Structure 1
Amino acid sequence: MDNQNDILEGAKTAFINETYNPANDFKPKFLSNNFNHKVLNSIKDELQNCDEFFISSAFITLGGLTPLLQDFLELEQRGIKGKILTTDYLNFTDPKALKKLQSLDNIEVKLYAQEKNGFHTKGYVFRKGNIYKGIVGSSNLTLNALTVNKEWNVEFTSLHDGEVLNNLLSEFNNLWDEANNLEDVLPAYEKLYDSQKNFTKLKENYKKLSSEDLVPNSMQVGFMESLRSLIQSGESKALLVSATGTGKTYASAFAVQDFNPKKFLFVVHREQIAKQAINAYKNVFKNTKDFGLLTGNSKDYDSNFLFSTIQTLSKDDVYTKFKKDEFDYIVIDEVHKAGAYSYQKIMDYFEPEFCLGMTASPERPDGIDIYELFDHNLACEIRLKDALEEDLLCPFHYFGISDLEIDGKTVDDSTEFNQLVSDDRVNYLLEKSAYYGYSGERIKALVFCSRKKEANELSKAFNKRGHPSIVLTGDDSQQTREDAIYRLTNDEAKNKLEYIFTVDIFNEGVDIPEINQVLLVRPTQSPIIFIQQLGRGLRKFKNKDYVVILDFIGNYKNNFMIPIALSGDRSYDKDNIRRYLMEGNKVIPGASSISFDEVSKKRIYNSINNTSFSRIALFKEKYNNLKFKLGRIPMLLDFYENGEMDPLLILNHTTMDCYYSFLKKADKDYDEYLSEEEISSLKFISKNLASGKRPHELLILKSLIYNGYFSVELIEHLLKTEYDIQNDVKSIESAIDVLNLDFSKKDKKDFPELSFMNEFQISNEFKEYLAHETYRKHILDVINYGLLKYKTEYNAQVEGENLTLYAKYSRRDVCRLLNWPNDDSSTLYGYRVKHNTCPIFVTYDKKEDISDSTKYPDKILFLHLKLYVTFLNLQQFFKSKNSVFFLKK
């Protein structure tokens, strides 16, 4: 009966009044592809929770199927059965996708032979117990239809006897009975599909690409405009920070073309990259320039456009052949390496009119300030998330796969070599590579290993099993590398390769756009290296619809870096990292997808839980990164606005009183001074109010600072106009108590001399502190940081409450935000009925040895207030006065 009522309430919300019960999970929904939600996400959610499913889609492609492969595999392991119906209409459905589905024991697939009438169905039905969820509309089982196309679909919930559901299932069953078993018709359909595809390919071969086809992408246009502005303002250096695969080399070529130098120098760290850069520049400049190579194998000193390796150029007898002002324009690729002596020598020697540095990752762990080398002129910054939003990269499907247990032990940082290359692990890698597949006619994969010896043994094992592969390391010659890449990428090559094994030589710079699968069989050492290796497959290429990334996740201590790298979130907030692990697929832009199997998720959660982000060394590293980028000492607000690290980690550290205390420890150049009393005042605000969970105290302080007074009416006005908070006098009164130290006995004890106000006027002590510019700067920084944090993280509050859904609060926070007159956090445990409120604290991570009364199921939490009673200590509860509060409710 409850389900029936929920469905009725959902219908009222969907079709009568959207405010009726917006939190109802059973309400019909309109589904389309938008920021933070794709149709794909809804299908994945239902697959993960269903007992049975039925899909009818006119078109099915490998691209549409691939992001669901992890879900289908888990359904097979759980014995959840499903039926998928498609058609030969327009010969569009990909036979490879049908074969993939056919390989799964739990899924039946049929092909409807379209003869007279078109077949356009797009419907997905999922059963969970006696509840059915349906998604019907315009989305086929194709990649773009599920992720980026403008599609209209409706999701509805029904019980078994619902009319719409029964009509839908009846139609499905009728079509199913008329359709052909896949094994009976697939060979003939595949021949028809291939012949049509070959005809299409033949027509494409007649298309001629002209020079007009080469135009800057959105990143390159923005970069060129910014660079032009810098040059016009008299700057002589600039930095381009852009994700791997977004076209930095072409961006530089367009910019150089715009500048039109007489002599030009391009500096790289490998000859292969220099050759690729020459090809890019030739495509832009055509035959208008004299291009040359300066490497260990080529000595084209006299060329007007010279491309050189740093190893050759930095030799004393080479760079001194050129005058200091020989080149009008210099581009330095992978400039994060510029801290090395060889780069420094070149940059100190040459005096071009303009010097451009390019990198995907300017941050360095060794403390070298790359930004300073280019006068802090950041011409453009586009990270992975931005590049995906701008459609600059090939979509990727990332799969976090649990690495194999060998002899009952999970692969970890200390696993012995013999286990890493065992037959079982080799078979496992090949099995997963085959299952998750690739886009294109044949596999062209890169495999990143931890060490050369492992790469060699795995390559031998792959070759033995009929999968041609080779190992490339830094010891191989340039010619060997080029030959291997040709055999991997060129379909006409003799002795074609399927896999290239390596350790790190392909981490950066080398352009192999044909790569359609990347295997990561090593622990993640840093988010930067992770993105570099991921980026090897992200370049767009003809007939490559997506790239598959397979990350084999063992019990590695650095697993927490994976969601950090994928999200680009540098806040180091554990809740953010956990949230991305759960919901990354929902927020990643474009047609890309992210999936983890359950074991991998658990391993990453363990890594997050066991890793401390409250380390001074981490704080200093992030501080230096931001200081280098800004060219000055950053404040709290700078950290937050630049997404470098959530400064609350610093403020909450047990050894830090406030941000000033951190600066004194972290930066030897910081020479400002605060008194003990001023530090104590900052400590109170930093520890208690900087989190931004309520703006009231911060607005009162701001008014005292700027006006010398405040009033309840003024704070009410500010709350209403700036934060849309209305009729909240009780919270203002509570905030006054907090600032007067009347809320907490502990505060009175810890800060006996602290005084911000005298009635509604600024106190003499506070006014005296504010006369000191350093103190004034720091307190305003904390206040503005807290207010911005409130606006971005806590402003979506439940109406009439100071609490935000899904946010995290301490017991002290709860007492303060419920406007209790005193801080009862030291004696507040499971629940407390007080002042007509009842906060309930629920243990999510329950250990095995706890009492039965605490072993409640997590999934019932926060459904209905009436359910809470069931999970409190019932016998004691009904004897207490608290039961009256609940039963009235």
Structure 2
Amino acid sequence: MVSTVNFEEIAKKKIFKAINESKLTAWKILKEAFTDLKNRIGRVPYLYDFVSHHSIDPVVMVDGKTKSISNYYQFLLEMKEEVPPLTDYENKVLTMLSLEILNGKRKHEIILLDLLLRKQAVNYDEYLQHLCESNCLTNDETIASVKRIFDLSFFTQIDKKKYGDQPIIILNAENDFVFNETIQYSLKVKEYFKHLVTDVIQSGKEKSTLYQCDQPLTLYKKYSRKDACKLLNWNSDERATIFGYKTKYGTCPIFITYHKNDEVESSVDYGDELLNPEVLKWYTRSNRTLNSEEVQTIIHAEEKNIDVHVFVKKDDDEGNDFYYLGKAIPDKKTVQQDTMKDNDGKELPVVHMNMVMEQPIEYRLYHYIKNGTES
């Protein structure tokens, strides 16, 4: 069942729309949700309270889009709540966990953090055992990706700096995962820091129940370009250069904004169209021909063992996240050279083809993307 319409999703859409229109409106929505829950439970709420009371999704409270708040400690300061102080580095670690782990889109990191909060060191094999018990993927590529998240090598320079610029968890010579020494010390002596870290992990664990752990992506869930890089086990965050699609490491994520806004330039206003729940008519980027290497690679994706993953969002009011519609296979019989006009009316070459979905798109989501309604 697709949860396109529930309270949290509606609230999230309202916030994204508000962010597009005015950050002040978005902040007002967040403040109201905080005050409402505080009154309901009779104390300062934490992230897990928002999850357990089915209030606003805590991810939107700390995603940095309103007031540049990127963790819940900063949110509480902004709300003028009295909280014990954190060091600059503790603040950065909390930001990393809030922006990268809280969303629960991959359980692997949460399981390791959860174990490390309970014991000082977690042996590599013990970690794999816990992953198996949770029915999570344990292939080398996924584990290597988890390590890149925690040693920060996956991230851009800007993000690394924002996250404290040093590995958060390391695999030591004894083959044990451990927090770095600064974090170990902070967790030991600062009760409040430990409370905030535990809150993120507990909330992330709850949110992770909405995602399958035995495959990288869950049908109909929402992912950003950065999420796709991470979850498809790319070496680094390449969201800035993916644009509509990119083939790398045996994967080809395709991102489509179905209803483009009026300001979109003609040269990127592609005619991508869901023809029915099983077929997507898809356009390459402009200035591409049948002979372009990247086009040939996608046409022959099946023979080359490249997994094509399709992500679609209805429009830009939905923020940076796209619904994952599953894998698709290019239908070679439908590949066609075509042209499209740029802003000056000049014709540019483009290729389009039908992508056959591995699974037909769920009925309500299909209609929601196409028509903006669920039926």
TM-score norm. by structure 2 comes to 0.68
Alpha-carbon separation, structure 2, partners of 1:658 and 1:780? 13
Equivalence for 2:167? 755
Equivalence for 2:136? 725
Alpha-carbon separation, structure 1, partners of 2:286 and 2:275? 16
Contact 1:637 1:781 in 2 (8 A): yes
Equivalence for 2:51? 640
| Cα drift, residue 879 of structure 1 | 2.2
Change (3 A) 1:853 1:683: closer
Give % identity: 26
| Higher gyration radius (CA) | 1
Equivalence for 1:826? 240
User: Which stretch shifts more, 830-839 or 671-680?
Assistant: 671-680
Change (3 A) 1:881 1:606: closer
| Cα drift, residue 716 of structure 1 | 2.8
- What is the CA deviation profile of residues 709-736 of structure 1, one whole-angstrom value per residue up to 9, with x for unaligned ones? 23443333323323x2244332122011
Equivalence for 1:839? 253
Contact 2:12 2:56 in 1 (8 A): no
Contact 1:627 1:634 in 2 (8 A): yes
Change (3 A) 1:633 1:574: closer
- Counterpart AA for 1:851: S
Alpha-carbon separation, structure 1, partners of 2:109 and 2:25? 27
Change (3 A) 1:877 1:821: farther
- What is the CA deviation profile of residues 567-602 of structure 1, one whole-angstrom value per residue up to 9, with x for unaligned ones? 6x2565435x79xxxxxxxxxxxxxxxxxxxxxxxx
Residues 481-496 of structure 1 aligned to structure 2 (within 5 Å): none
Does residue 618 in structure 1 map to residue 29 in structure 2?
A: yes
Equivalence for 1:783? 201
Alpha-carbon separation, structure 2, partners of 1:738 and 1:716? 17
Secondary structure of 2:252 counterpart = coil
Aligned equivalent of 2:12, options 565, 574, 595: 574
Aligned equivalent of 1:883, options 296, 310, 334: 296
Change (3 A) 1:839 1:617: same
Alpha-carbon separation, structure 2, partners of 1:862 and 1:638? 38
Alpha-carbon separation, structure 1, partners of 2:181 and 2:286? 52
Contact 1:614 1:649 in 2 (8 A): no
Alpha-carbon separation, structure 1, partners of 2:138 and 2:83? 45
- Counterpart AA for 1:653: G
Secondary structure of 1:860 counterpart = strand
Contact 1:570 1:644 in 2 (8 A): yes
Contact 1:700 1:715 in 2 (8 A): yes
Change (3 A) 1:700 1:857: same
Secondary structure of 1:805 counterpart = coil
Residues 539-578 of structure 1 aligned to structure 2 (within 5 Å): 569=7, 573-575=11-13
Aligned equivalent of 1:860, options 275, 282, 307: 275
Alpha-carbon separation, structure 2, partners of 1:659 and 1:608? 19
Equivalence for 1:629? 40
Change (3 A) 1:853 1:660: closer
Alpha-carbon separation, structure 2, partners of 1:789 and 1:694? 10
- Counterpart AA for 2:46: M
Secondary structure of 1:794 counterpart = coil
Contact 1:689 1:698 in 2 (8 A): yes
Alpha-carbon separation, structure 2, partners of 1:861 and 1:614? 37
Alpha-carbon separation, structure 2, partners of 1:700 and 1:672? 27
| Cα drift, residue 761 of structure 1 | 2.6
Greater relative CO (CA pairs within 8 A, separation 6+): 2
- Counterpart AA for 2:95: K
Does residue 805 in structure 1 map to residue 227 in structure 2?
A: no
TM-score norm. by structure 1 comes to 0.30
- How many positions carry a matched residue from both structures? 291
Equivalence for 2:317? none
Equivalence for 1:657? 70
Alpha-carbon separation, structure 2, partners of 1:862 and 1:744? 35
Change (3 A) 1:874 1:801: farther
Aligned equivalent of 1:684, options 74, 78, 96: 96
Equivalence for 2:229? 815
| Cα drift, residue 781 of structure 1 | 0.6
Alpha-carbon separation, structure 1, partners of 2:244 and 2:276? 14
**Which 4+ runs in 1 deviate beyond 6 A?**
605-609
Contact 1:740 1:755 in 2 (8 A): yes
| Cα drift, residue 836 of structure 1 | 0.7
- What is the CA deviation profile of residues 39-98 of structure 1, one whole-angstrom value per residue up to 9, with x for unaligned ones? xxxxxxxxxxxxxxxxxxxxxxxxxxxxxxxxxxxxxxxxxxxxxxxxxxxxxxxxxxxx
Secondary structure of 1:859 counterpart = strand
Aligned equivalent of 1:770, options 170, 183, 187: 187
Change (3 A) 1:809 1:756: same
- Counterpart AA for 2:102: A
Residues 115-134 of structure 1 aligned to structure 2 (within 5 Å): none
| Cα drift, residue 611 of structure 1 | 6.9
| Cα drift, residue 682 of structure 1 | 0.2
Contact 2:151 2:167 in 1 (8 A): yes
